[in-house]
Amino acid sequence: MYTVNTLDDVKRKAVYGKSKKEVRLKLTEAISNRDKGLVFDSGNLSVSEYLDRWLEAIQSTVGERTWKRHESIVRLHLKPAIGKTKLATLNPLQVQSLYRAKSKSDLAPGSVKRIHTTLHKALKQAVRWQMIPRNPCDSVDTPKGYRGEIKPLDKEQVKVLLSVAKETQPRLYALCVLGVTAGLRQAELIGLQWSDLDLERSR
């Protein structure tokens, strides 16, 4: 491990690597960034803590549905998988492993691609805020989204679905009714909260 002073000569930056050559290259880059006035300092901030701050920062800059989609992806997928990792140490291999694990789950390819979109956007902002020198998502293979034609259920299939759901899954019946009538995506349905319901105007 090598250390290099930052501009204020108080904080110190630790540089790690698997070999002396790798550490030497990182140390040279750190010194170069310091001399240019670029100090990347995310402290001990975890990915989970950073994502919370990112969501708070963008809430007034994007549409409500867009923000809720990002919040849902962060809460359901990113935090459980990489939330405890330090932002400064998150690397492309960890990101690629996350995509691989999600691709092997029951998630649709399009959902995995949306996870990438949210993470890439969040880390791109971290680069702009000079918290990290580069975006780990830029060095991974982007998940491929599903491009096939969506075939919605016909009326008879909907009747069967609701009938079975009412008998076997009564707690999910209302969710199924909303799903086949409102045209919401799965993530949007799961992310709904009581505050989204307006009983007075039936919305």
| DSSP calls for 21-69 | HHHHHHHHHHHHHHHTT-----TT-BHHHHHHHHHHHHTTTS-HHHHHH
User: With pLDDT > 90 as the criterion, what percentage of the chain qualifies?
Assistant: 45
Report the topology of domain 47-139. Answer: DNA polymerase; domain 1 (1.10.150)
pTM: 0.57
**137-162 per-residue burial string, b: 16 or more CB within 10 A, e: under 16:** beebeebeeeeeeeeeeeeeebeeeb
- The number of C-alpha atoms within 13 Å of 101 and in the hemisphere containing its C-beta is 12
- Name residues whose C-beta falls within 8 Å of residue 178's C-beta, 6 or more positions apart in sequence: 184, 189
Q: Can you give the pLDDT at residue 18?
A: 63
Question: Which strand (E) or helix (H) includes residue 4?
Answer: strand 2-5
Q: What is the mean pLDDT of residues 37-42?
A: 46
Q: Where are the domains of the chain?
A: 2-35, 47-139, 155-196
